[in-house]
Amino acid sequence: MVEHYVMKHIHCHTLDVIITQDTRNIVSDVEVTDHGLCDHLGRMSRDHSAVNFTATIIRPAPNHKVVSFRKLRSVDVEKVKRGITDSTILHLYSGYVDELGHAYNNGLHSLMYKNAPLCTKKIYYGL
């Protein structure tokens, strides 16, 4: 933590201070103005001022991630039904469960890719 500006007021109490985490000199053009602030009774306060300054900072690059999705709401259900009836998965008569499971998985996967292709999108966050 670096104190860039300290102003002491009545009774030498520190009331106005600019503190940053950065060790570089990023604060400049410090200007202290008394705006005649009042307390809740309307009395002028002599120990509070406005501190205006310019901070020189570099905006970090935005973070992003790539998401994958399918537009399942736009799938033509009738086309999928026709694809299932026309595929070979309904006509398999193998006695092995592993082979049937593999065939069903491959058949339905290909229908999914054909009717609802995988889309990707880059999403920026932390702007």
Task: Give per-residue pLDDT as tens, 92-124.
Answer: 777 788 888 888 888 888 899 999 999 999 999
- CA atoms 86, 88, 93, 97: torsion sign: negative
Local structure of 15: helix, strand or coil: strand
> Does 86 share its domain with 69?
yes
> Residue 52 — pLDDT band, cuts 50, 70, 90?
confident
- Cα separation, 115 vs 79, whole angstroms: 8
> Does 89 share its domain with 105?
yes
**Model's pTM, two decimal places?**
0.44
Q: How many domains does the chain fold into?
A: 2
Q: What is the mean pLDDT of residues 68-79?
A: 93
Domain that holds residue 95: 63-125
> Does 76 share its domain with 23?
no
> Does 89 share its domain with 113?
yes
> Does 69 share its domain with 51?
no
